Structure 1
Amino acid sequence: MRSPQPSPVIEMRGVGKVFLAGAIENHVLTDIHLAIGRGEFVAIAGPSGCGKTTLLSLMGLLDQPTHGEMRFLGEPIGGLGRRQTAALRNAHVGFVFQAFNLVADMTVAENVALPLTFRGGIGRRERADRAGAALASVGMAHRMGHFPGQLSGGQQQRVAVARAVVGEPAILLADEPTGNLDLRNGENVMALLSRLHAAGTTICMVTHDDRFSAAADRTVRLLDGQVVDEATFRQLQREAECGLDERRIMEIFP
């Protein structure tokens, strides 16, 4: 008998997100159905303003959906309080940001160890050992005592990746991780993410660059806050280049 498949790391059913600006409702995400399986590398692609970063924030438990159901590691997150959500996020989610978000007055090693300081039961020596191992895995162990300002952009992003994986998260979320890098450093960071994926890391990455989304197992196309299939996405791209009128938009997104 075949053993049951493990539940997805993240599962969304009919998820939507609405932001209020006075009496005006801004529907950023609408009816999202999406699952991220263990060990997958998923890219979320789409034009600026389509809801990619908002979707990643929901996945990373930085925000909650306005409606719909979301499960993380098989458990519903709708009824969790702020403290419970923060503990779940710190234990199981690693983040890589476009702007690196390293603390300027902390060393590379201290930056990488930082997420572990918010977990109970991990002493200073263990934090240092785990930070060193994470830095070695991204080829930055030799820069352990340096400060972020002494590193190149590509090196800072490698440190940011080490910080994201030091806690052995269930999923690594990367928001435009190559956005502030030149092509060569961007390719180096993508090669690093591919190696982590090959070693078993579950990754979900937001990108607007098809060259980098090609590294993923699959690409989820987002347009105007909705998931669309590849054919529809390409069709709308072509029509947008020719000037898509309002009537056509309403036909596609009633």
Structure 2
Amino acid sequence: MSAESSSAIVQMRGIGKVFRAGAMENHVLTDIHLDIRSGEFISIAGPSGCGKTTLLSLMGLLDTPSHGELRVAGHSAAELGRKERAMLRNRLIGFVFQSFNLIGELTVAENVALPLSFREGLPRSERAERVADALASVGMAHRRDHYPAQLSGGQQQRVAVARALVGDPAILLADEPTGNLDLRNGEIVMALLSRLHGSGRTICMVTHDERFGFVADRLIRLLDGQVVDESTYQQLQHEAECGLDARRAMESFR
């Protein structure tokens, strides 16, 4: 293994994911080879249903691959038990979801502090300082005592980013972070992620929005569960669109 690969935060070699329902098999990911290195901003793009969210779930140790080798911060996923995966998720990975996933009964500050509740031995004063710093980094310190229902969608997503950052993770995983936002709020959240990347954060973002995919250092194209290069992606997309146009034409004659 090269020095470049061994220093990667996430390493995937021949990763596949198969979901089974009785005798039926759904091959969601096939033969994925991918490295994410410290300080990179990677965007994973592709149409709905192509396996983007599944790929992010594997990176975040929320799921395990059906085959292939997955390493996160040098740890082999195959050798980790459930408790070990949970511990690594809490210490190494920050998550930002499309639907925000804030708890309505908790204040902004309490929502951001949640990941720290699993950190044993962390003094209360340090927790409070980390929460304050995380909220300040996303411009939401003035809303610390508000509740999610009192915030706009864009503000809720910024709080979700602060929650992901509070544990100082090695990598930030964002799953369609602008998917539930209008264009203006989407641009604000993307500007925030770009600024965080500029300060040295490692970010891997899933998106189907071409406007935002190109802000990353590297764009990974995913189609039908496989990583494809740009020319192959464009060709397959064209063939799929031509096939759809042909089917529509045939249906018009019925």
TM-score interval for Structure 1 and Structure 2 normalised by the shorter chain: over 0.9
Give me the whole-angstrom Cα distance separating, in 2, the residues matched to 1:190 and 1:223.
24
* Correspondence for 1:136: 136
1:244 Cα deviation after fit: 6.6
* Correspondence for 1:126: 126
Aligned 1:154-169 pairs, distance under 5 A: 154-169=154-169
TM-score of the two chains, using structure 1 as the length reference = 0.93
1:123 Cα deviation after fit: 2.4
TM-score of the two chains, using structure 2 as the length reference = 0.93
Give 2:89's aligned amino acid: R
Aligned 1:123-202 pairs, distance under 5 A: 123-202=123-202
**Unmatched 5+ residue regions in structure 1?**
246-254
1:11 aligns with 2:11: yes
Q: Which moved more, 1:69-78 or 1:223-232?
A: 69-78
1:24 aligns with 2:38: no
Count residues in correspondence. Answer: 242
Over the aligned positions, Cα root-mean-square deviation in angstroms equals 1.2
1:161-187 CA distance string (max 9 Å, x none): 000011110000000000000000000
1:225 aligns with 2:225: yes
Give 2:213's aligned amino acid: S
Aligned-partner SS, 1:94: strand
* Correspondence for 1:47: 47
1:126-171 CA distance string (max 9 Å, x none): 2111101100000000000000000000000000000001111000
Identity %: 73
1:125 Cα deviation after fit: 2.2
* Correspondence for 1:249: none
1:124 Cα deviation after fit: 2.3
Give me the whole-angstrom Cα distance separating, in 2, the residues matched to 1:244 and 1:17.
27
1:238 Cα deviation after fit: 1.4
Give me the whole-angstrom Cα distance separating, in 1, the residues matched to 2:96 and 2:17.
22
**Unmatched 5+ residue regions in structure 2?**
246-254
Aligned-partner SS, 1:188: helix
1:25-55 CA distance string (max 9 Å, x none): 1111000000101100000000000000000
* Correspondence for 2:212: 212
Segments of 4+ moved more than 3 angstroms:
none
